[in-house]
Chains A and B, each alone.
Chain A
Amino acid sequence: MKKLIYILSLGITLLCADIDIMKVSDTLSNIYGVKYYNNDKSILLDSTVPTTTLKKADIVLFPAGLDINKITIVNSYAKLRLEEKSIGAIYTFKNRTQIIFVRERLKKNSLSLSKELNQYIINECQLNLICLANHYKIADVF
């Protein structure tokens, strides 16, 4: 069990390697009226991001190994697809920091982002390949 947790932590750390802390801090601090609990201590967020205890937090960041009933932001695309409680994901892909939020989930949790973050918001349908292909009529578009 301990070994598993260690490997997971390492994996998370590796996954989160080279993450753009400034970009992430800037994004998180632009979500109005929320407080965070950062479960990944290897990621040192800026002081502009309001953090608190797990109990008082509105959103939990990178809740790997935690069994909680709170809004989360996960650390992979795969998890974002699977976990409906997660409103977004922050991870690196091809050395690039990826920050993604799902519109419908934000709305469901009465969360709003400032206009500058529109570039990070996708629709729920875009997470699902079939929905993507059908909804956007891929064959016709291309």
Chain B
Amino acid sequence: MKNKNLVFTHGQLYYFMLLAYIFIFILFLYFYSNIDVYDKKIKNYFLTQSIQDLDQASNHVISKIINEDSNLVKSNLLKKDIKEKNEEHLSYLKNKDVTSLFIVFRLEGNFFVLLDAEEDNKAQVGQVFIPEDIRYYNQVYKTGKSLSFIQEKVTGLGFTLLKPIIQNRKVVGLLVMDYTQSRLSSISNMLDLMVRYISIFFFFLLFLIFLFLCYMLYVKYTKNKIYQNPKTGTLNRVFLSENYEKIDFKNYYVALADLDFFKRVNNIYGQKTGDKILNLLIYNLSTLLKPEDMFIQYSGEEFLLLISKKNREEIALKNLLEDIRIHVERTRFLIKDEYLFLTLSIGALMGTDLEKSLHDCIHKADTALYSAKHNGRNNIRYYDTSQAKRIYRDKLQEMIFSDKLVCFYQPICSLTDSSVHHYEALLRIKDGDTIIFPDKILPDLEDSYLYSHLTKKIIEYNVKILRMDSNIKISINLSADDLINDSVISLLAQNADLSNRILIEILENKSINYKKVELTIQKLKLFGYKICIDDFGSGYANLNHLLNLSIDYLKFDGSIIKEIHHDKRAYSIVKTFAEFCQENGIEVIAEFIDNEEVKEILISFGVEYGQGFYFSPGKPYEELDLD
């Protein structure tokens, strides 16, 4: 099962490292095998630069020689007196460092001596000259630029300077100046040093590139380790939160699967056994998927499945999910001479191309999962976007406008003394004897005109309770869209006298106009309202809320709180943000507290308030114990 190339597997890391080693090794071999060539080139270059002063002196002599003749070669070949005069000029350049000083010219590829400043072993007029390395001589003829090179083939010479003699913009000859070895050695130490430094620098650079490559590979590999469950090799929630934007959800069907009553397994057999069973199950389930699918451990016993749509129709998805469900149902675990059987509930969303974000897809799959749980568990439910809206909206519109809307109240208590601080108003709709929960209503009302009507109804309902009961304090859930809705703000402003007993909880929202929302928050705070971020930790946008909005309270999402007593990462996250809130004067509420252990941990973090079944479920106002 692949991870969409977002991370490196163990094998891929070694593969790429091997490639990097081979590449660097080949590069190193190439340069090492050509080191003499590069050494020579660099030395010759620096030699040319270092003998600029010698080069300058010859210019004066050359200009004298050229001025004497209208045609340098003809005059010096055929007129003895001119030749002797020019050889005398040439001899002015002689010194103890110069062994030979002569001028050659080229004719049909061969070189001939024109002038020779030496007396001993003097060349005959027009004597053929075979250069030690004809390429240098031809290069100077071609480029018209001086060149110096170290004499390696000729014993007794240090280096040679070739200087072009240019007449009428044409190179007509070359001045050849041979220098002694002692002259070379005075320069060569510096040249050796330069070459050495350049070589060291170059190999150091290669080494740095190699280290950088290794580092990049290591980072990718480390991310892989962070993203994966080491026992099962499957992805975890950290991977999801860091790669939300990179996952192209429209190419996947989204399903959420949850093991039924798994908490009992932990309670009965212990956390260790529970983890072993979980890992085994995860491993088996992941083998049912294709390499292009993703299996992400969403929370303890909840899994997010991203099933690739490639070559897979909806019927194939249904078959796959059914296979998964049956596989879990038929798997038996032998624990202490007892057989344990488990079941799996699955909620899935098929029409992901209609959604705006992966978060929305997961939310709808979660709705379907909820439905599966409520319909006896061990089954699969699909979120139906086409029909549900039609049915629900018509019915909900009727319910909202016929006052079937009620609120249940769940207490938020102080963790230290369990006293009630305030109540959260939880939306319910009474349909005869049936109570309809918000996850069945709200997803269908999103982006519809009914949503703002609903919000206003909720505010009006709670204002009525607050006016009736002068002691109770209530928190009301509003979305970011509500906060920029003038009619909603106007309603809150009208009831500003109750603001000291109302807490506004801002719901998780995928996109938010921070400037406008912050403006509204400032207005509400002026009225005396307190502001809370709800569902903190459930989505990726929360951190931006924290940084960009002026809040009084922060409420941790239940999905992260319920893990803190056995998940190190959840523990650290809650602890860190609790500290952050304390330092910034923000009071913290934790929801979904359902046991003493979680409560004690939260107290140790300095969390002030808690909410959950440990204290009380949500109840109608009439059933509250207000004493």
**Cβ contact of B124, chosen from A78, A120, A136, cutoff 8 A:** A78
**Cβ contact of A96, chosen from B77, B78, B118, B132, cutoff 8 A:** B132
Q: Does B134 contact A (CB under 8 A)?
A: yes
Contact with A along B50-73 (1 / 0, CB 8 A): 000000000000000000000111
Question: A136 vs B73: C-alpha distance in the bound complex, in angstroms?
Answer: 12
The answer to whether A93 touches B153 (Cβ under 8 A) is no
The answer to whether B107 touches A136 (Cβ under 8 A) is yes
Please indicate the chain B residues that have their CB under 8 angstroms from the CB of A139 in the complex: 71, 74
Q: Does A31 contact B (CB under 8 A)?
A: no
The answer to whether B130 touches A96 (Cβ under 8 A) is yes
Identity of the chain A residue whose Cβ is nearest the Cβ of B99 in the assembled complex:
A95
The answer to whether B108 touches A93 (Cβ under 8 A) is no
Identity of the chain B residue whose Cβ is nearest the Cβ of A89 in the assembled complex:
B128
**Cβ contact of B130, chosen from A95, A98, A138, A142, cutoff 8 A:** A98
Please indicate the chain A residues that have their CB under 8 angstroms from the CB of B413 in the complex: none
Identity of the chain A residue whose Cβ is nearest the Cβ of B113 in the assembled complex:
A93
Q: Does B155 contact A (CB under 8 A)?
A: yes
**Cβ contact of A141, chosen from B99, B107, B124, cutoff 8 A:** B107
The answer to whether B71 touches A142 (Cβ under 8 A) is yes
**Chain A 64-100 interface residues, beta-carbon cutoff 8 Å to B:** 77-78, 81, 93-100
The answer to whether A122 touches B110 (Cβ under 8 A) is yes
The answer to whether A142 touches B72 (Cβ under 8 A) is yes
**Cβ contact of A95, chosen from B72, B110, B124, B154, cutoff 8 A:** B154
Please indicate the chain A residues that have their CB under 8 angstroms from the CB of B130 in the complex: 96-100, 119-120
Contact with A along B72-106 (1 / 0, CB 8 A): 11100110000000000000000000011010010
**Cβ contact of A138, chosen from B74, B110, B156, cutoff 8 A:** B74
The answer to whether B74 touches A95 (Cβ under 8 A) is no
**Cβ contact of A100, chosen from B102, B126, B128, B155, cutoff 8 A:** B128
**Segment of A39-47, A48-56, A106-114, A126-134 in the binding face:** A126-134
Identity of the chain A residue whose Cβ is nearest the Cβ of B118 in the assembled complex:
A94
For residue B403, give the distance in angstroms from its CB to the closest CB of chain A. Answer: 109
The answer to whether A95 touches B155 (Cβ under 8 A) is yes
The answer to whether B153 touches A122 (Cβ under 8 A) is no
Identity of the chain A residue whose Cβ is nearest the Cβ of B108 in the assembled complex:
A136
The answer to whether A18 touches B155 (Cβ under 8 A) is yes
Number of chain B residues close to chain A: CB under 8 A = 35
Q: Does A20 contact B (CB under 8 A)?
A: yes
The answer to whether A20 touches B153 (Cβ under 8 A) is yes
Question: A120 vs B111: C-alpha distance in the bound complex, in angstroms?
Answer: 11
Identity of the chain A residue whose Cβ is nearest the Cβ of B167 in the assembled complex:
A142
Question: A100 vs B121: C-alpha distance in the bound complex, in angstroms?
Answer: 17
Instruction: Tally A-B pairs: CB < 8 A.
Output: 77
For residue B103, give the distance in angstroms from its CB to the closest CB of chain A. Answer: 12
**Knowing A95-B178, A96-B132, A98-B130 touch, does A129 contact B125 (C-beta < 8 A)?**
yes
Question: A97 vs B73: C-alpha distance in the bound complex, in angstroms?
Answer: 25
Identity of the chain B residue whose Cβ is nearest the Cβ of A136 in the assembled complex:
B107
Identity of the chain A residue whose Cβ is nearest the Cβ of B121 in the assembled complex:
A93
**Cβ contact of B157, chosen from A78, A95, A97, A122, cutoff 8 A:** A95
Question: A78 vs B124: C-alpha distance in the bound complex, in angstroms?
Answer: 8
**Knowing A129-B77, A139-B74, A142-B74 touch, does A77 contact B124 (C-beta < 8 A)?**
yes
Question: A47 vs B71: C-alpha distance in the bound complex, in angstroms?
Answer: 49
For residue A127, give the distance in angstroms from its CB to the closest CB of chain B. Answer: 8
Identity of the chain B residue whose Cβ is nearest the Cβ of A122 in the assembled complex:
B128
Q: Does B123 contact A (CB under 8 A)?
A: yes
Please indicate the chain A residues that have their CB under 8 angstroms from the CB of B110 in the complex: 122, 126
Please indicate the chain B residues that have their CB under 8 angstroms from the CB of A18 in the complex: 155-156
Question: A41 vs B112: C-alpha distance in the bound complex, in angstroms?
Answer: 30
For residue B406, give the distance in angstroms from its CB to the closest CB of chain A. Answer: 106
Q: Does B131 contact A (CB under 8 A)?
A: yes
**Cβ contact of B129, chosen from A20, A93, A133, A138, cutoff 8 A:** A93
The answer to whether B126 touches A129 (Cβ under 8 A) is yes
For residue B586, give the distance in angstroms from its CB to the closest CB of chain A. Answer: 88
Q: Does B416 contact A (CB under 8 A)?
A: no
Q: Does B127 contact A (CB under 8 A)?
A: yes
**Cβ contact of A93, chosen from B72, B105, B123, cutoff 8 A:** B123
Among A78, A93, A136, the one with the most B-chain Cβ atoms within 10 Å of its Cβ is: A93
Q: Does B493 contact A (CB under 8 A)?
A: no
Q: Does B172 contact A (CB under 8 A)?
A: yes
Please indicate the chain A residues that have their CB under 8 angstroms from the CB of B112 in the complex: 126, 132
The answer to whether A133 touches B77 (Cβ under 8 A) is yes
For residue B31, give the distance in angstroms from its CB to the closest CB of chain A. Answer: 29
Question: A136 vs B157: C-alpha distance in the bound complex, in angstroms?
Answer: 33
Question: A37 vs B338: C-alpha distance in the bound complex, in angstroms?
Answer: 107
Footprint of A on B, CB under 8 Å? 71-74, 77-78, 99-100, 102, 105, 107-108, 110, 112, 118, 121, 123-132, 134, 153-157, 172, 176, 178
7 closest residue pairs by CB, A with B: A142-B73, A94-B100, A129-B126, A95-B156, A98-B130, A139-B74, A95-B154
Footprint of B on A, CB under 8 Å? 18, 20, 77-78, 81, 93-100, 119-120, 122, 126-127, 129, 132-133, 136, 138-139, 141-142
Instruction: Give 8 new A-B contacts, CB below 8 A, not counting A93-B127, A95-B100, A132-B107.
Output: A93-B121, A95-B154, A97-B132, A122-B110, A126-B128, A139-B71, A142-B105, A142-B172
**Can you list 21 A-B pairs, Cβ within 8 angstroms, ordered by A?**
A18-B155, A20-B153, A77-B124, A77-B128, A78-B124, A81-B124, A93-B121, A93-B129, A95-B157, A96-B130, A96-B154, A98-B128, A98-B129, A126-B107, A129-B126, A133-B77, A136-B108, A138-B73, A138-B107, A142-B73, A142-B172
